[in-house]
């Protein structure tokens, strides 16, 4: 699925999402990735949903967004609240979605000028 949003200068845009691959601008990612509204996309060492720990979400909190969009893969899955504690304690909103929906939502929020971070679990199934 290809996206062609209107963009703000200096804001990261997800331009394409397909099973196991996500494009941030022109760069293809095939491993889990963190996409902040500004600055470089970052490799995320989350190997899969069952491997998530509180430390994975602490890394997102350190970026100080107002909201985190969690792309859980090909299907919607919710991380346990205990893993999200670092975000909850800082009053950072968290929305969980499948990767395609998270990509679209991230683009809308980033291009509205929101301080948003998206974290995507990528695997061969999407």
Query: What does the pLDDT look like over 16-45, one tens digit per residue?
Result: 999 889 999 999 999 999 999 999 999 999
pLDDT at 124 over 90: no
Instruction: Quote the number of domains for the chain.
Output: 1
**What is the band of 123 on the pLDDT scale with cuts at 50, 70, 90?**
confident
pTM of the prediction?
0.90
pLDDT at 116 over 50: yes
Give residue 70's pLDDT: 98
- Average pLDDT for residues 4-26, to the nearest whole number? 84
CATH of the domain at 35: 3.40.1230.10
125 in a domain, yes or no?
A: no
Report the length, in residues, of the chain: 126
23 in a domain, yes or no?
A: yes
114 in a domain, yes or no?
A: yes
Domain encompassing residue 51: 14-120
Nearest residue to 111 (alpha-carbon basis) of 9, 3, 1, 29: 9
126 in a domain, yes or no?
A: no
6 in a domain, yes or no?
A: no
CA–CA gap between residue 116 and residue 79 (Å, rounded): 18
94 in a domain, yes or no?
A: yes
**What is the band of 126 on the pLDDT scale with cuts at 50, 70, 90?**
very low
pLDDT at 93 over 60: yes
């Amino acid at each position: 699925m290809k996206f062609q949003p209107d963009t703000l200068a200096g804001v990261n845009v997800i331009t394409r999402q397909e099973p196991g691959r996500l494009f941030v601008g022109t760069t293809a990612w095939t491993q889990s990735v963190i996409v902040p509204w500004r600055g470089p996309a970052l490799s995320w060492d989350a190997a899969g949903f069952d491997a998530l720990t509180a430390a994975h979400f602490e890394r997102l909190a350190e970026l100080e967004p107002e909201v985190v969009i969690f792309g859980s893969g090909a299907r919607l899955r919710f991380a346990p609240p205990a893993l999200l504690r670092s975000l909850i304690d800082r009053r950072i909103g968290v929305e969980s979605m499948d990767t395609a929906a998270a990509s679209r939502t991230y683009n809308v929020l980033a291009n509205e000028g929101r301080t948003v971070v998206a974290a995507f679990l990528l695997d061969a199934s999407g």
